[in-house]
Every structure is written in structure tokens, then in C-alpha cells.
A and B are shown apart, each in its own frame.
Chain A
Amino acid sequence: MPHRSFFLGLFLLLLLLASCKGGEEAVPVSLDKRQEITARPQLPAITYAYLPQYSHTESFQRHQGLVEYLAEETGLPIRQVFPDTFAHHISMFGQGKIDISFSNPFVYVKLASRFGAKAMARIVEEDGRAEFRGQIIARRDNEAIRSVEDCRGKSWVAVDPSSAGGYLFPLGHFVDHGLTLRDFKEVVFAGGRQENVVLGVYAGLHDLGTIREGSLQVVANKIDIDQIKVVATSRSYPGWVYAYSPRLPQEAADKIRDAMLKLDYGHNPRHRAIFDAARFIGFVPSDDRDFDPIRELNTKVGLELE
């Protein structure tokens, strides 16, 4: 009997203890003890910018590996910066806030024309070519658009006025087929984002869109890209180009170009990882003459470079 009472008492005690809360240790901190703090200035470094055709995070993730490699390989401090728009990219280059620019050939010819940018290397796309094309897309169920001519009088969403694959190349294609900017119901720009063009067409906000080749795969995990059809594809033009500011010492530019050309997609796993992140597979040496077809196209469609 005493045992039974003991266990009953123990049970009740445990029940009560179980019902009691466990305490949390609090760290004493004063919120009133304050002082003015200023950020330490960043160390000087060579700035590297990727034309913002994607979000900053996408840009960062694609190029952070390459930037780190170049810094490591050249021994130079290199820092990636993130302009918000194509125009911002161009203006930052002009302001000297960008030393190395990775841009489409259309922007490059603008930079070269305006600020004396010098091409130092072109990339080799994942399909093995150092050039690329633009594409005209529409919803697959849009029966009104079957050919380039059907695009007349339709709403067109392009990537950016400075976009090569997403605006200039398709515009050249339209001009070749007798359509000028006035033949469209409207021409709107998606803030330099390839994804926004695809999503705008997919949502039905616009009848057709123009993107650089390969951009559909970027949104494959966001929408059903089978609902999108490619109405036409432009001819190939020289691909994306690395250019350096005339302010950058030639020696540094050479080191960087050498380091780029040194990257080996086929045999070095680390280099391959860098390329995989950047979504291309190699570099080829390049100079300003490679981009004359762009200048010609620009002249053809009547756009200004200055």
C-alpha cells in the first residue's frame, strides 16, 4: 500500500513537472547604447559586369565562378558589379564603373562606338558556335501567327532596345521580310529580361515575342514551354563578347584575356564547372572587326549607335 501511494505521488509530481515550462536563457543586450557607424569603403578592384539580361542573382551565379577564376589566375582584384538595365550597363561603362564588360554584340558596338571599348574575346556557345541567333515566338495555340508576315499588326514584346538576340536580330529578320517597326500594333520592351518576354507571350499579354536562341530553356522549369512555338529564327551573328575599358591597363587586359583563353572545357573539370555555370563552353580571341556585321545590321534597321 505505501508503495502504491509512493508511485501515485511520483506520477502526480511528474505530471505536474511535465506541465511546467522549461525556461529560456536570455542574453542581456542594451539597445540604448548606441554609436554612429559608417561602412568601411570597398577596396579598389577591376569591375566585371554581365549585361543584365537576367536577374542579378542569375548573373551572379553564372559568372561568380569565372570572376573568382580570373582574379585567382591573374592575381588581380576583380569584383562583379550589377547594372540594373542595358542602358545602366552602358552608362556605367561610360562612367568607368565597369572595366570588363560581357555583353551582346549590339551593346558592344555601342560601347565601342561611344566609349572606345575594345573586344578581347568571344564566347563559344553551348552548341559549339561563337555566334547566335534571335527567335520570334508566339503561343502555340495562336493560329493567327504562322509566319513572319502574320506578325503584322500584332503586339510585339522585345527584350530591350539594346538587346541583340532579343531585338536587333529579329528586327533585321522582320526588315528582311518587309516589316518595319511601324507595321506592329505595338513594340514593348521587357526590361532586358529574356524570361519576361517568354512569360509575357505565355500569359497572352502579347501576340509575339523575340528572344535570343536558347532562352526558352531558361524558363523550362517555370512554364510549359511546349505551349510556345518558334515562328522564325534569324540568321547567325557574332556571339557575346568580352570587351575592356580603355581605362584598364593593357597589361591587365592581356592577363585577363590570357586567363580566359587558358580555360579548357574539355579537359579540366574545374574549368568545365566554371563554363557550365556561365552557360558557354569556351573563348575564342576576338577583335573589333568581328562585329562589322552587327554594324551593318544596325544600319539596315535604322537604329542609332550613338
Chain B
Amino acid sequence: MSRYLQKLVHSLRFRTKITLGVTLMLVFCGLSIGLILSTMSSKALLEEGRKRGLALTSGLAFRLTEPLLAMDFLQMKNLIDNVHDQYDDVLYIFLTDTRTNILSHTFSGGFPVDLLRINPDSRQPQPLLLTTERGLVYDFNARIVLGEKTLGVVRLGLSRSDMDAQIHQQRIISLLSTLGVVSLGVMLALWFARTVTLRLNRLRESAEEIVKGNLDVQAGSSLEKNCWEIMACDKRGCPAFHDARRRCWYLAGTLCPNCQGKEYPLKIESCRQCPVFRYNFGDELQDLAEAFDVMAVTIKNHIEELTEREGTIARQQGLLKTIMNVTPDFITLQDKELTYRFASKAFCDYFHLDEEAVVGRTDFDIFSERQADLNFHEDKQILLTGQPLAKEITFKRPEGQKWFHIVKVPVHDRDGSIMGLLLSARDISMLKKFQEQLIQSQKMEDLGRLAGGVAHEINTPLGIILGYTQLLMDDITDDELLENLKIVEKQAKVCRKIVADLLGFSRHSPSARAAVDINDSLRDVIQLVEHAFFLHRIRIVYQPGETISPLIGDRERLKQVWLNLLNNAADAIGQDGVISVRTRQASHGRIEVSVADTGGGVAADHLPKIFDPFFTTKPVGQGTGLGLSVSFGIIKEHGGTISVLSPPPAQYLPENLAPSGHAGPGTVFIVELPPGGRAEQ
């Protein structure tokens, strides 16, 4: 029950509580005081009545002395009747002498003898309350005394009904007055509760607004006069100047001389003496509301600062995250127990792991036990010695040889102790490849120079051999000998072609520069070989690009390149295939020519060597291995590049390529030529 009551009280609104409490208090106090006052006044009325009765009786006793002494019965009767007739509530009066002889009385039709047996002694407390047929009656006994001699006794009966009526009336008035006062008190309590709760509600609404996130609240009331108006201040630099929402005594850095340069709450003591404080300071609720407003504004400022900082941090975090996600390097951070605290996206992707699967775990959870054990000892060594570690490791992967450059650095915290380990690993496979290509290029350069030198030296004697052979042929008539000389001539020409190719490879041959339309040169070559290829059921799909700008170059040599590439493609296909030739204007005005085939493709091992002179996968006698190296030299001479991809990306193959039983992975050669066909520097 009490819990239910407690819950009920708790669930009531504060205003209701105040009103209810004050009402209960007023009702209780009002009723109590009303009852007390009513009782007191009732007692006073009764006492007054008793005193009146005593006074009447005593006065009568005094006045009866003379007639009693004179035994003047008429005067006795007159006196008694006079009092009896004068007051309606005097029911009876009678006079007795010392021998209880009834000398006079107001009764008619006999004397009620019962009265003689009660209240005989006036020394008893007077009056005596009687209950009679006429209601309650106070019986008063007063002796008629002269000196020390008692002459007789006067008895007077005073009805209490008048007194009771008066008491009743007084109680009604008292009750009505109490109810009136209580009602007035309740109205005042309602007004008071409303005044208090109005401000509390404003505070609550402000608090709710703050909870909702709206910090732009004002719980305190507006001031009639602000500090700058009271002080006639014009210090625009003061934070309180024209700030009507916050009270100046809460603000720091106010310029008022009364503030003495102190901040709240240190300055509040001096502020109490300030006319601004004395004018504007309110009660505790106003103080609370104003402090609340200051708090809201302060929180708002802090939140704005925090939001700004959060934004900055988020931007920096995003930036860092982006960097970490984008960087191809593996970056991990491990704590002293070698548990991963961070792993970059590249690291996770490489090992096909989620970041959640890495963070909070150790190498033993991620890698093989052997690898993890290796890493553990290495990492522990770094954590113990504090010496960073840098190393390169290599291993084979299905996609080829992989090289990584690994750096492990101990991470120090502020006190200098090692708190973890930072690993940075970079895939340097490409670098290694480039290094190898550089070596290859150097080799090709050296080889070209050697071949050029040798060819140049051989070319003269070879020309002499061919010249003399042709002279001999003109002179010799012997058919057999002539036939032999023709073989010599033919082989000499073969040698001259090889020498010419070697010279072309080593750019020792002269070239003719002119504007070349790539599409046209390609079309010429395709028309030349199309028929022959068709015999091997090799179809050429030519997709010339539009708006291909002409370039300056050696038309014939470029045609030689196209021919080499087409022949190479046809050789790779052998029978039944498609060669896709495309041209397009690439970025920066460069022209891209791609020749893709559906042939057997090039083994990955061979790709780096494919442009080497004399490198061939063809059977002995079917190729010199100089076609691609010569093409390489020509394109290089035009300032372009030639590269090979096997298998070719899909975009280089013709669409709707019919499946063929002999179709291999294929190869694509991509030639990129600079605009204008600048000569190789």
C-alpha cells in the first residue's frame, strides 16, 4: 500500500505535489487551528457564560442583603423577579436562609425539591452543571455574607442552550473561516506552484532540448537591464557586452573593474557587491536557470570545438586510412606480445585475410607454424635489442618470382621503452624485373653495337664476295659451276640480308622520313598477306581507329614491322585463327597499334627474351630470330615502344570471336608511337 502510495506520489507532477502538499498542510493546520480556536472560543464562551452567571448571582446576593436583613419579602421577590424577567436564559432563582428555608423563588406551581439536595455548598466549584427537562442548566450558588456571618444563599439556574447555540454559531463561523482561509491558501499555493513550476518547466524543457541536441536554449528570464546599461559601459571587447543570455558574473575575462580580473567562481564575492549583481540577482531558481544557460552555452561551445576537432581527426583518420588502404606496401603494427594492432589493406589482401581476422591475433594464428616461429624469433630479437631490421626476401608464386623488401622497426613510446613493432614490406618484384630488363637492354645495346660492328665489317667483304661471284657468273658458262655460283650468290645475299637486318637492328642503316598514315600502311601490309594467310584459314580482323593523325616516320620500315608482327602472328596460329589488328589514338596524342592473335601464346619465361636477336622458338631453319628484334629496333628508332602480353587482355581480341579447337591463349603485340614520330634521342 505504502509502495503504491509512494509510486503514486512519485508519478505526480511537481506542481500537483506542491499544491497537494500545501493543500493538505493547510487543511490539516486549518482544521487543527480551527478546532483548537473553536474549542478555545467555546471554552471562553462557556467561561464567559459561567462568569456572567456568577456575576448575576453574586450581584443578586449583594442586593438581597438588605431585604434579607429587613426580612423584606417584597423587595426580595422584586429583586429576584427583576433578574429572572430581565434575562431569558435565567431559568430560576431562589433564596434560602441559613436554615434552608426558601424565602423567595421564581417557580410557579410548587418548588422543584431536587434543587435543594444538590449544590448545597458554595465553596464547591461553581457552577454545577445540571441536566434537566429543559436541557443543560448551570446552577450557581452564592452565599449572602455580611462580615463573617452567612445570612442566606442565592441559587440561580442559567440555561446552557443559549451558550450552546452561540458556540454552534461560532463553530460554523470558525469552520467557514477556516475553509475560506484554506481555499485562499490553496489558490495561493496554486499560484505559488505555478510560479515555481513555470520556471522549473522551462528548465526541464531546456534540458529536454539539450538532450535532443538543441543547445540554443534559454531557461533564465530576460533581464530588464543588462550590465552595460547599468554600468553605462562601452567596452565592446568585454565578453559580457551585449550578451543578454549570460550573466556577467559567470563569464571569464570580463573587463569590469569590479571583477578584478578574476574568473567565476573566484570573482563572485566581489560581484555580490556590484550594482549589476544586486540589480539582476534573483532567487535560487533564477540562479539555477542562469547557471543552466551558461552551462548550455559552454557545452555548446565545447561541443562545437569538439565537433571541429572530431572533423579534423576524422579527416586525418580518413586520410590515413586512405593512405593505408591505397599504399601497396604492407604495413602492420604489433604490440610487445606481437599481437597485431593494425594491418594495412595491402597486407590483408595479399594474404586473403580480413582486417578483423588479423587485428588481435599473432603470426601463429595467421601463418604456418614454421613461418610464424621464424617471425617470432626475429621479432623478439628486434624487441629485445631495439635494432631495426631490413631485408629482402624472394619466393616463387604461381604468377612468378616475388621479391619483398622488409623493414621492421621497434616502436618507442614516450618514455622511450619499446611498445611494439612496425613492419613495412614492399613488393619490389617489379623493381627487380626492371632491373633485369635494364640488364637485358644493356645486353641488347651491347649486342646491337657488336652486331652492327661485325655486320659493318662483314658487309664490305660480303659485298666483294657477292660482286665477284656475280662477275664470275657472268664469265662462267659451265652450267654446273654457274649453278654453284648461284648458290654462293644466293647464300651471300642471305648473308647480306642478315647483315642488313643486323644493321637495321643496330640502326646503322639509313632511313627515309615522311608523313605516314598508319592505317594506310597497315592496310597495305594486310592486303599483301591476307591471301596467303587465308590459305591457312587465318582471318585478319582489321579495326582501324578513326582520326588517327599521321606521324613522321619511315613508311617502309614501319611496314616491315607490321609484316613481321603479322607473320609472327600467323606463325603462332599456324592454322585456323584470327588476327586482330587495331589502331587507336591513345593518350597524349600517341598512336597505339595492337596485333593480337589466337595462337599458342608465349610462355612467361620467354616473354622477357622475345625481342632478343636470334631468339626464336621456331624450328631451326624456319626463322633467324631477328624479326622481332628488328621490329623492336625500328619502333625504338621512331621513339615508340613495343611490348608483348600473353595471353592478351580481352579488349585486344575481336568481339564475337568464334571458338576454335586450335585457339590458344594468344599473344598481343602493342606498339605505341609518339605523335609526329620523333626520332629516338
Contacts and interface: CB of A to CB of B under 8 A. Distances in A.
A20 B571 CA distance: 131
A15 to B, nearest CB: 5
A74 interface: no
B39 interface: yes
A203 interface: no
Nearest to B103: A39
Interface core residue of A26, A30, A31 (most chain B CB under 10 Å): A31
A64 B69 CA distance: 11
A21 B133 contact: no
A56 B67 CA distance: 9
Interface string B88-103: 0001100001010111
Nearest to B46: A24
B462 interface: no
B126 interface: no
B128 to A, nearest CB: 6
Interface in A21-80: 21, 24-37, 39-40, 55-57, 59-61, 64
Contacts of B71: 81-82
Interface in B91-132: 91-92, 97, 99, 101-103, 107, 109-115, 118, 128-132
Contact of A61 (B107, B113, B147): B147
B112 A34 contact: yes
A220 interface: no
Given A29-B130, A31-B132, A40 B66 contact: no
Contacts of B36: 15, 18-19
Interface string A5-27: 00000001001101111001111
B296 to A, nearest CB: 37
A1 to B, nearest CB: 11
Contacts of A81: 71
Contacts of B139: 29
B129 A24 contact: yes
B65 interface: yes
B110 A35 contact: yes
B141 interface: no
B618 interface: no
A264 interface: no
A57 B65 CA distance: 7
Given A30-B133, A56-B66, A35 B111 contact: yes
A24 B111 CA distance: 26
Contacts of B130: 26-29
B171 to A, nearest CB: 11
Interface string A191-235: 000000000000000000000000000000000000000000000
Interface string B55-90: 000000000011001111000000000000000000
Interface string A127-169: 0000000000000000000000000000000000000000000
A84 interface: yes
Categorize the interface residue count of chain A.
Answer: 20 to 34
Contacts of B42: 21
A20 to B, nearest CB: 7
Contacts of B28: 12
A56 B136 CA distance: 38
A31 B112 contact: yes
A36 B35 contact: no
Interface residues of B, number: 44
B101 A40 contact: yes
Contacts of B66: 55-57, 82
Contacts of A55: 66
Given A27-B118, A33-B113, A84 B35 contact: no
A98 to B, nearest CB: 13
B3 interface: no
A33 B149 contact: no
Given A28-B130, A33-B112, A60 B101 contact: no
Contact of A26 (B112, B129, B133): B129
Contacts of B107: 34
Contacts of B114: 29-31, 33
Interface string A286-305: 00000000000000000000
A56 B147 contact: no
Nearest to A19: B35
Interface in A159-186: none
B32 A16 contact: yes
A27 B101 contact: no
Given A26-B136, A27-B128, A56-B70, A37 B65 contact: no
B101 A29 contact: no
B389 interface: no
A33 B112 CA distance: 5
Contacts of B43: 21
Nearest to B131: A26
A31 B136 CA distance: 11
A57 B113 CA distance: 31
Contacts of B149: 60, 64
A279 to B, nearest CB: 14
B385 to A, nearest CB: 69
B134 to A, nearest CB: 6
Contacts of A29: 112, 114-115, 118, 130-132, 137, 139
Given A21-B39, A55-B66, A57-B69, A35 B113 contact: yes
Interface in B581-636: none
Given A30-B132, A31-B92, A31-B134, A37 B112 contact: no
Interface in B240-267: none
A20 B35 contact: yes
B430 interface: no
A61 B148 CA distance: 9
Contacts of B101: 39-40
Nearest to A68: B149
B184 interface: no
Interface core residue of A60, A81, A83 (most chain B CB under 10 Å): A60
B393 interface: no
B52 to A, nearest CB: 17
Interface in B409-433: none
Contacts of B112: 29-34
B146 interface: yes
Contacts of B146: 57, 60-61, 64
Contacts of A59: 69
Contacts of A34: 107, 109-113
A32 to B, nearest CB: 5
B409 to A, nearest CB: 66
A59 B149 CA distance: 13
B147 A64 contact: yes
9 contacts: A19-B38, A19-B39, A27-B131, A28-B131, A30-B133, A31-B91, A31-B114, A56-B65, A59-B69
Interface of B: 28, 32, 35-36, 38-39, 42-43, 65-66, 69-72, 91-92, 97, 99, 101-103, 107, 109-115, 118, 128-134, 136-137, 139, 146-147, 149, 157
Task: List 9 tightest A-B contacts by C-beta distance, closest first.
Answer: A34-B110, A19-B35, A39-B101, A26-B131, A56-B69, A82-B70, A26-B129, A19-B36, A29-B130
Given A27-B129, A31-B137, A82-B66, 8 more contacts: A20-B39, A29-B112, A29-B131, A30-B132, A31-B92, A57-B146, A60-B146, A64-B146
